[in-house]
């Protein structure tokens, strides 16, 4: 029973938050005359000493004391006797653990945003350094239209920017003080929750004690935002795996971010990217577990909620480490521009531009699409590229094809898409400047 219910082996991670909350609570009790100033000072000094013991590794965590709250309180009583027993006045472990989790997540969100921005900066730098590199854009993993490599990478900047916004929004609902809610009904003491909020850095105070002790929405929101972020990183990971393969050959990963084979000497395996794809599943699983834990719980606190921590800690650690290693990996990518541009010239990626060429000459787009579709099939059968077709071959499909059809090039295709959000160099340059302003905190 004791081993099954104990959570100290994982919730000891909350020691800093628990002690910070306890110090603030002691000061509030003294301010309100519930305990003496002397008692509050003694409690604060003892808690500070306990924190130092934990950080120095000399604190003995006991399974029989169940959790971080009781371990710290028991040690406090050992140090200062009955005065330590006064600390739990006007609070419950129910509002105490909610406080600890909110303090923990506020810091985790801040660190997550910082690491997201670090990765955004790495993406911006990689895009800027390869601004003129052309590559094939894909749909269905089939070559579709030529784009700038920088344009492709900035798509991931936009994904990550939405992630930043999600975490910032989640922070608003995490930044709520629950302390003072007691076990579920509030406390029968004249506590000063505004003082607690100021001491602990909360911008808002919970408005319903029953909701405050049973709410884990803020954890679910973090898990959901983390799952979306990991999905984005997994998409980038997949492209890195593909692009670094011999079949694509668009990029080379730094040796620091690949591993060799135990049997094949030539191998450079993109293990970081592959692991990120797999770890995404772990984060998804943690989100689903949390949703399942909460799906049918009656108000208010239930012991089920003890299971909110291990998955959250795992998600935080997984997300943080993945963002950190991706920043380094992206920053050291070497782009093989000649290879990417060469592939962009292949595969009839200018087919849409040829259809647009006919549209300019008055052909309805659907008809132009059919003409070029037949032209592509002919060129494939003949083993020719568009540039290798004679004008007489073009005119077999439409008399509107003229000598200027050879002006339809990869460079012209990219330059033509000079609209907001397009892949034209002018647009991409503007988007790079916008991205730099965003990561520098200057907004749009």
Catalytic residue among 203, 245, 256, 261: 261
Short-list 127, 421, 159, CA closest to 135? 127
Which uninterrupted H or E stretch holds 144?
A: strand 142-148
Give me the pLDDT at residue 238, please: 98
Question: pLDDT class for 264, splitting at 50, 70, 90?
Answer: low
Q: Nearest Cα to 436, choosing from 50, 117, 101?
A: 117
Q: What is the pLDDT of residues 38-72, one digit of tens each?
A: 999 999 999 999 999 999 999 999 999 999 999 99
Residue 265 has pLDDT above 60, yes or no: no
**Rounded-to-integer distance, Cα 251 and Cα 269, Å:** 13
Nearest-CA neighbor of 69 among 28, 41, 49, 99?
99
Q: Is the pLDDT of residue 383 over 60?
A: yes
Using DSSP's 3-state secondary structure scheme, residue 302 falls into coil
Give the mean pLDDT of 159-181: 98
What is the band of 346 on the pLDDT scale with cuts at 50, 70, 90? Answer: confident
User: Strand 142-148 and strand 134-139: pairing?
Assistant: antiparallel
Q: Express as a percent the part of the chain with pLDDT over 90.
A: 95
Task: Answer whether 2-89 and 94-342 agree in fold.
Answer: no
Which pLDDT belongs to residue 262? 60
Q: What confidence category does residue 2 fall into, taking pLDDT thresholds of 50, 70 and 90? A: confident
pLDDT digits (tens, 9 = 90+) for 395-441: 999 999 999 999 999 999 999 999 999 999 999 999 999 999 999 98
| Rg value, the chain, Cα | 30
d(CA 414, CA 429): 13
List pLDDT tens digits, range 172-208.
999 999 999 999 999 999 999 999 999 999 999 999 9
Q: How far apart are CA 436 and CA 440, in angstroms?
A: 6
Q: Cα–Cα distance between 187 and 178 in angstroms, integer?
A: 12
Predicted pLDDT at 221: 98
140 tagged catalytic: yes
DSSP helix/strand/coil, 93 = helix
Span 287-297, mean pLDDT?
98
- CATH number for region 2-89: 1.10.275.10
Residues contacting residue 381 through CB under 8 Å, at least 6 positions apart: none
CA distance 389 to 351: 13
Task: Specify the pLDDT at position 196.
Answer: 98
242: pLDDT confidence band, cut at 50, 70 and 90? very high
Mean pLDDT, rounded, of the chain: 96
Q: Is the pTM of this model over 0.85?
A: yes
At 1 the pLDDT is: 86
pLDDT band at 347 (very low <50, low <70, confident <90, very high): confident
Choose, from 58, 140, 262, 392, the residue flagged as catalytic: 140
Fold classification of 94-342 is Fumarase C; Chain A, domain 2 (1.20.200)
pLDDT of residue 441: 87
Nearest 5°: the CA angle 347, 350, 355 is 130
How far is the C-alpha of 385 from the C-alpha of 388, rounded, in Å? 5
Q: Quickly state the pLDDT bin for 261 (edges 50, 70, 90).
A: low
DSSP state of 300: S
Q: How far is CA 42 from CA 50, 54, 229, in A?
A: 12, 19, 45
3-state secondary structure of 53: helix
**Structural domain boundaries of the chain?**
2-89, 94-342
Inform me whether the pLDDT recorded for 371 exceeds 90: yes
Average pLDDT over residues 319-325: 98
Q: Which of 196, 136, 63 is nearest to 344 (CA)?
A: 136
pLDDT in tens, 120-154: 999 999 999 999 999 999 999 999 999 999 999 99
Question: Residue 339's pLDDT band (boundaries 50, 70, 90)?
Answer: very high
Percent of the chain with pLDDT over 70: 98
Residue 442 has pLDDT above 90, yes or no: no
């Amino acid at each position: 029973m004791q081993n099954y219910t104990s959570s100290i082996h994982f919730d000891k991670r909350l020691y800093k938050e628990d002690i910070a909350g306890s110090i603030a609570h002691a000061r509030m009790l003294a301010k309100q005359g519930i305990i003496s100033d002397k008692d509050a000072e003694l409690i604060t000094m003892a808690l500070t000493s306990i924190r130092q013991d934990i950080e120095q590794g000399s604190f003995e965590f006991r399974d029989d004391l169940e959790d971080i709250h009781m371990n710290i309180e028991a040690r406090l009583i050992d140090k200062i006797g009955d005065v330590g027993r006064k600390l739990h006045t006007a609070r419950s472990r129910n509002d105490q653990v909610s406080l600890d989790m909110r303090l923990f997540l506020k810091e985790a969100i801040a660190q997550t945003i910082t690491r997201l921005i670090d990765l955004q900066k790495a993406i911006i730098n990689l895009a800027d350094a390869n601004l003129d590199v052309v590559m094939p854009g894909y749909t269905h993993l089939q070559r579709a239209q030529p784009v700038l490599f920088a344009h492709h990478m900035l798509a991931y900047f936009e994904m990550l920017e939405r992630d930043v916004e999600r975490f910032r929004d989640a922070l608003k609902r995490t930044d709520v003080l629950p302390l003072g809610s007691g076990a579920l009904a509030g406390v029968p003491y004249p506590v000063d929750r505004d003082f607690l909020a100021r001491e602990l850095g909360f911008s808002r105070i919970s408005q319903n004690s029953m909701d405050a002790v049973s709410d884990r929405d803020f954890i679910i929101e973090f898990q959901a935002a983390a799952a979306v972020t990991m999905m984005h990183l997994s998409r980038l990971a997949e492209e890195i795996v593909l692009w670094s393969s011999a079949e694509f050959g668009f990029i080379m990963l730094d040796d620091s971010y690949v591993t060799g084979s135990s049997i094949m000497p030539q191998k450079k395996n993109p293990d970081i990217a592959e692991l990120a794809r797999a770890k995404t599943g772990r984060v998804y699983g943690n989100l689903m577990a949390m949703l399942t834990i909460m799906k049918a719980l009656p108000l208010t606190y239930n012991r089920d909620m003890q299971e909110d921590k291990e998955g959250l800690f795992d998600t935080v650690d997984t997300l943080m480490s993945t963002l950190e290693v991706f920043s380094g990996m992206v920053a050291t990518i070497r782009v093989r521009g000649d290879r990417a541009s060469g592939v962009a010239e292949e595969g009839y990626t200018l087919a849409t531009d040829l259809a647009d060429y006919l549209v300019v000459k008055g052909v309805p787009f659907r008809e132009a699409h059919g003409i070029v579709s037949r032209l592509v099939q002919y060129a494939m059968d003949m083993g020719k590229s568009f540039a290798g077709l004679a004008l007489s071959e073009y005119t077999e499909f439409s008399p509107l094809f003229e000598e200027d059809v050879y002006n339809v090039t990869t460079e012209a295709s990219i330059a033509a898409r000079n609209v907001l959000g397009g892949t034209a160099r002018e647009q991409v340059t503007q988007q790079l400047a916008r991205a730099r302003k965003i990561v520098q905190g200057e907004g749009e």
